[in-house]
Structure 1
Amino acid sequence: MLLPTATQVLVVGAGPNGLTCAITLATLGIKATVVDDRSERSYGARGCLIHARTLEVLRTLGLSDKLKDIGIQSKGIVFYGQADPLFNVDIAALSDTTEFPYILLTPQSEAERIFEEFLFDHGVEVIRNTKVVGFQESSAEGLDVSFEDGSSILASYVVGADGARSTVRTLAGISFKDPSTSVMYDENPSSASFMLFALADVVLDINPSIEIPRDIISWHLNGRIMFCPLELPQALQHLHTHNTSFWRIAIAIPPGSTTIPPRHPDQAYLQNEIDERKPWKDYIRLDHLYTAATYRVRSAVAETFFKRVGSGKVLLVGDSAHVHSPSGGQGMNLGICDAVILGRAIAEHIDRGDDAILSDYSWKRTETARQVIQATKRMTAIINIPNGWRRWITSILMCVANWVAPIRRKIARRLSGITYRSG
């Protein structure tokens, strides 16, 4: 598809956040231009949890029913000590509060496929292999955005949905730092000072004596390892014709560890970690590795999600605006909710021209991002507690809290995103 010479809204990044923003605009009669520097969708170990609040928001676009057909409906997250459960984040108990009392488990690539197909049906096609390298004020209304291949486009609104290392955010001169420590995201201290997560999508061969639930996410705190059941993505189904046991696993490596995992862990590394951590005290063999990556746990939020550059408007959404620990799977969810609210705000701004509309988006979503960052930091801190007396005391406290219904419900509401309905 050819790049037009001008567009009202340019969305940079065709991940779930950029696609959702473009879909929201399309449903309001505004045809955005969507560009992405990738040649195709990525199938890496990225987001895989879609929470109740996100499904509520996507229902307004007609997308929730399409997603329900491609994932596993999980009752919640169960935290284990050894083999015994300590605390149950029971999302199923929220059936009196939401139409979606579950966590939908599906790889991010599958959500992107559904979104891209839906957007195509609304007359918008993603323009790939198109990398933004700069923009400048134009004599006309908007910004002249330039691309790596020498082409350019005039855009009134530029939406940065291009990830944590956002080119759009950098070009706009918007700072990106931890809201608690003020450490800039681009600072690059030793990996030993960060908690790391090795995330992998794998097929497991599990001893029949072990029954790993496929209707919950299992977090084994003593071994710092998570098992999340997934359906095999459509793009990989031709590789396995028999019934497979497909999983996302997460292995947490605390700060100061002497062994740092490779950037893309191989099957031998992952198998060794499973063997050493023994979450169910019996063998779990990694039969096939599809994709794996190691992530440093960092938190950051943009100084603002909206900035005028000349007569152009630069707006941030998703990881371009905020990043945090993957604990609880909040990243894709927070970004999708950003995107729907932003799409509506842009449409209203086109109609009324009042910058207070975009400033309101920025302020409200910044506050929600800060709350989510603090919540994920608390969950990561629990995972990070070393084995020994502190882990023992924490386990007792979690068991006690599990018997207190208001505590369980409060945590379930926060994890599901229902707490942030007004944000």
Structure 2
Amino acid sequence: MTNDFAADVLICGAGAAGLTLGIELARRGISFRLIEKMIQPFPGSRGKGIQPRTQEIFEDIGILDKVVAAGGIYPPLHEYQDDGTYVEKNPIENVDPAPAEPYHIPLMIPQFLTERIMRERLREFGRQVEFGFQLCSFEQNQDGVVARIAGPDGEKAIRTRYLIGADGGRSFVRGALDINFPGKTLGARAVVADVALTGLSRDAWHQFNQGDMERMVHVCPLAGTDLFQIQAPIPLEGEFDLSADGLGRMISERTGRDDVQVHSVTWVSAYMMNARLADRYRVGRVFLVGDAAHIHPPTGGQGLNTSVQDAYNLGWKLAAVLDGAPDRLLDSYEDERRPVAEAVLGLSSRLLDAQKRGEMRRGREVHQLDIGYTGSLLSGEISARSGSLRAGDRAPDAPFKGAAGQPARLFQLFQGPHWTLLVHGPRPEGLTPRPGLRIHSVGPRGDIVDQWGHIRGAYEMEPGECVLIRPDGYVGATFCANHAAKLEIYLDRVGLSSIEEAV
């Protein structure tokens, strides 16, 4: 084998996390291979809820409109009583969108459709998933990773600079690194199935025996398909009939109805609910993302969303280091994302307990809009400011008018792999443009006109104040124009050194 690198990054696992990371690297021109041991795409609906923060990410990577078109919103909930009547409820707390937070309603789309759209986006960059390839072993040193991969043509060794384990809750990569995966089994076993059935309408999410962990069953129409998703607790021990006949009998026995008929099953899984968190996310040149690093009960719809956001956080940092930024930038991945997973595990477990009591309701806490990294080493308060927005906070959206009169939004300026610097007033002297950084001046003589005051309301910038936005939509640094020289130190740390002009 030669010493040439087959790719800068090898991603093992083509679920939502691996696909997000692939898109992030592809749009930055980073070479990678994305392998998946299954011979065809995952066929199930499992992670069907897309939270508002993930919708913002999907807008950035260019797939949100397709996701919305392919899916839909959650229907009202029909909670059935013992006499066959039902109470209609809205299980999701709906809040009107605001200029700073344009998305407030969780979307429903089966995971297999989300991942199909992500694969299509990847192909737009000329890249694709390699199905039927399995990681067998790997070794690393200070220069890279040697991985042995088994595929249709046998086993081969390749060299790569970084290896990413996006290979799920039973991660081979995590096991090979001997990383502990502590947590607990939550005393609940459940079945989830995608089925064709008749006897229930498609305009409601049907719930029977809510709070009874022996008789509860949920039947929800899957937006974008003709299928329904069945979710139900099942006994902790023993075999359970997962066929169409078996699922049909379960529904009949638990509801007392014989008019609901299950005709076919397209995907089904029986699983124990667990809450686990890896002790480490990084060992040298190997990283864990998504379910390989954390697994959650499905309550609250947090798993897929947290996985996508892991990859979104890691992607730009990998690209920056491969482009010359200091390696320590990669340490911020675990520092920022592991506490988020720990908090999400607690939230999902609390919601599971509420569901057992028949009291679960999803509010803002599941939207993931309040996730931030204010304690991160990448969050720089270079100079004091009066506003409440701090480095590490999610960067708000805001509508405005361009100097030419066209309406636009901040999220449109942020969209892409670059950093964005918002300056209230003229650009600070000595702060020069450079690759990967776009500078915009807010004000009557700037290229951004805060026509409706939404930028002022969200960012609370005084004249001369500046806010630096990271590629993943979080505030990297805040400072005053007269401290621009200190910003250069920060920019060097993240790989945005200035380029001297030729004379």
Q: Give TM class, smaller chain.
A: 0.7 to 0.9
Offset, 1:28: 1.7
* Aligned pairs for 1:173-184 within 5 A: 173-178=178-183
Specify whether residues 160 and 27 from structure 1 end up closer, same or farther in structure 2 by C-alpha distance, changes over 3 A only.
Answer: same
- 2:63 match: 63
- 1:221 match: 210
Offset, 1:9: 0.8
Alignment pair present for 1:114 and 2:91: no
- 1:302 match: 278
Letter in 2 for 1:12: C
Distance 1:364 1:5 in 2: 29
Specify whether residues 91 and 155 from structure 1 end up closer, same or farther in structure 2 by C-alpha distance, changes over 3 A only.
Answer: farther
Specify whether residues 415 and 261 from structure 1 end up closer, same or farther in structure 2 by C-alpha distance, changes over 3 A only.
Answer: farther
Alignment pair present for 1:35 and 2:35: yes
Distance 2:51 2:206 in 1: 13
Alignment pair present for 1:314 and 2:286: yes
Identity of aligned residues (%): 27
For the Cα contact (< 8 Å) 2:290–2:304, is it kept in 1?
A: yes
Moved more, 144-153 or 347-356: 347-356
Moved more, 42-51 or 319-328: 42-51
- 1:134 match: 137
Deviations, residues 367-403 of structure 1 (Å, cap 9, x unaligned): 1111111111112122334xxxxx6xx6xxx7xxxxx
Distance 1:132 1:330 in 2: 27
Alignment pair present for 1:323 and 2:295: yes
Q: Which structure exhibits the higher relative contact order, with contacts defined as CA atoms closer than 8 Å and separated by 6 or more residues?
A: 1
* Aligned pairs for 1:371-386 within 5 A: 371-385=343-357
Specify whether residues 156 and 220 from structure 1 end up closer, same or farther in structure 2 by C-alpha distance, changes over 3 A only.
Answer: farther
Given the alignment, which residue of 230, 249, 262 partners 1:286?
Answer: 262
Instruction: Work out the number of aligned pairs and report it.
Output: 361
Unaligned stretches of 5+ residues in structure 1 = 186-192, 234-243, 386-390, 399-407
Distance 1:346 1:325 in 2: 29
- 2:323 match: 351
Given the alignment, which residue of 244, 247, 258 partners 1:267?
Answer: 244
3-state SS in 1 of match to 2:269? strand
Letter in 2 for 1:301: L
Cα root mean square deviation, aligned: 2.7
Distance 1:136 1:369 in 2: 27
Given the alignment, which residue of 92, 95, 98 partners 2:97?
Answer: 95
Letter in 2 for 1:92: N
Given the alignment, which residue of 189, 206, 219 partners 1:196?
Answer: 189
Deviations, residues 6-54 of structure 1 (Å, cap 9, x unaligned): 2111111111110110101111221321111111102135222212111
Specify whether residues 228 and 53 from structure 1 end up closer, same or farther in structure 2 by C-alpha distance, changes over 3 A only.
Answer: farther
Distance 2:96 2:295 in 1: 27
Offset, 1:122: 0.4
Alignment pair present for 1:336 and 2:308: yes
3-state SS in 2 of match to 1:60? helix
Specify whether residues 51 and 351 from structure 1 end up closer, same or farther in structure 2 by C-alpha distance, changes over 3 A only.
Answer: same
For the Cα contact (< 8 Å) 1:299–1:324, is it kept in 2?
A: yes
Distance 1:147 1:357 in 2: 29
Offset, 1:81: 6.5
Letter in 1 for 2:52: A
- 2:172 match: 167
Deviations, residues 205-232 of structure 1 (Å, cap 9, x unaligned): 126xxx5634x68575144222222145
Which of structures 1 and 2 has the bigger CA Rg?
Answer: 2
For the Cα contact (< 8 Å) 1:78–1:219, is it kept in 2?
A: no
Distance 1:417 1:78 in 2: 23
Letter in 2 for 1:275: S
Offset, 1:302: 0.9
Moved more, 346-355 or 371-380: 346-355
Runs of 4+ in 1 over 6 A off after TM superposition: none
Deviations, residues 164-212 of structure 1 (Å, cap 9, x unaligned): 111111122221111xxxx5x8xxxxxxx831110010122126xxx56
| Structure with the bigger percentage of helix | 1
Deviations, residues 403-422 of structure 1 (Å, cap 9, x unaligned): xxxxx7xx421122223254
Given the alignment, which residue of 124, 133, 137 partners 2:127?
Answer: 124
Offset, 1:268: 2.0
| TM-score (structure 2 length as normaliser) | 0.66
Distance 1:7 1:71 in 2: 35
